[in-house]
Structures are given as structure tokens and as C-alpha cells.
């Protein structure tokens, strides 16, 4: 079987089609320059632009293509699950003390984020009334637990 090839418009090399990025709508189905040249061009363009401009471009792209970005992020997370996990673990280990201190404070003070978390939700997803109600419920539960512990202790003391 003969391998489909194409001449790159930039470097002039003849390369198999798989060395070109796909481009829907193009007659050949791929871009006119090969992957290497396309990457090269992209990184040169990128280097020539200011970080602010790049950030703005990225934000605009995200705005235009929320579905694509979501899919891309999900794919990235799936592909890099172990790396991300290792990075998170390393970060937590480094900040363990701070993390524990913060978690304890969150629990002790029944902060919004802690209360929302007991509902398996994020703060913005919980109506304020529900958050307050849940906080109240948690307070009651704690008071009951303390009372129970106190009674158990007194029972033992008898």
C-alpha cells in the first residue's frame, strides 16, 4: 500500500500525511505546513507576544469554546492523573501543617466552606438559608455528641 504524502509549504520536505495536523475543510484534510513547522511557527508567534496579550487571547478562546476547553481539561486530567496526584501529594506534604491547622479551624468554626462541604457542595451552590440551617444542625449534632460523651463518662464513673 502506498503511503499518502504531502510537500510541506514551509520546509519543502515531502512527509507522510500523519506528519501534518488535521484541518477540516482543507482539500487534503491537513494543514499546508508540517507539524514541526506549524509548532515552530506557533512558538515563534507566541514568543513575540506579550504575556498579557497571550492571557487575553487564551481567555477569549475559553469564552468562545467552553465545551472544547472542558473536554481538553478533562482529557488532560485523565492523561496526567498520576502526575497531578503526585504533585498534589507533594504540595500537601509540604503544607501539611498549615493544611491541618486550616482544616481544624474550618471544622471548629463551622465555616461556610466546611458546612457546604458536609452537603457535598461548594459554597456558591448552597442557598444562604440552607447553609445556615445546616450549620445549626451541625451545632446540635456536636452538642448531642458532647452530651452523650459526658453521660457515658458519668456512667463509667459510677
Residues that bind Zn ion (CB under 5 A): 8, 10-11, 34, 37
User: For Zn ion, which is the closer residue by CB, 11 or 96?
Assistant: 11
Q: How far is the CB of 21 from Zn ion (least distance, A)?
A: 11
Report, in Å, the least distance between residue 38 CB and Zn ion. Answer: 8
10 vs 55, which CB is nearer to Zn ion? 10
Question: Which of residues 10 and 119 has its CB atom nearest to Zn ion in the complex?
Answer: 10
Nearest distance from C-beta of residue 54 to Zn ion, angstroms: 24
Q: Measured from the CB atom, is 9 or 80 closer to Zn ion?
A: 9
Minimum separation from the CB atom of position 18 to Zn ion (A): 13
Q: Which residues contact 118 (CB under 8 A, 6 or more apart)?
A: 134, 138
Residue 63 C-alpha from the chain's centroid? 17
Amino acid at each position: 500500500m502506498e503511503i499518502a504524502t504531502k510537500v510541506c509549504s514551509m520546509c519543502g520536505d515531502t512527509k507522510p500525511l500523519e506528519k501534518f495536523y488535521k484541518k477540516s475543510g482543507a482539500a487534503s484534510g491537513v494543514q499546508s505546513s508540517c507539524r514541526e513547522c506549524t509548532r515552530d511557527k506557533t512558538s515563534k508567534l507566541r514568543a513575540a507576544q506579550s504575556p498579557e496579550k497571550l492571557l487575553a487571547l487564551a481567555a477569549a478562546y475559553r469564552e468562545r469554546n467552553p465545551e472544547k476547553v472542558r473536554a481538553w481539561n478533562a482529557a488532560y486530567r485523565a492523561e496526567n492523573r498520576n502526575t497531578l496526584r503526585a504533585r498534589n501529594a507533594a504540595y500537601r506534604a509540604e503544607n501539611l501543617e498549615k493544611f491541618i491547622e486550616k482544616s481544624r479551624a474550618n471544622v471548629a468554626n463551622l465555616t461556610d466552606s466546611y458546612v457546604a462541604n458536609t452537603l457535598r457542595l461548594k459554597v456558591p451552590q448552597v442557598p444562604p438559608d440552607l447553609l445556615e440551617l445546616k450549620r445549626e444542625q451541625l451545632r446540635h449534632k456536636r452538642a448531642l455528641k458532647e452530651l452523650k460523651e459526658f453521660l457515658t463518662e458519668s456512667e463509667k464513673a459510677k
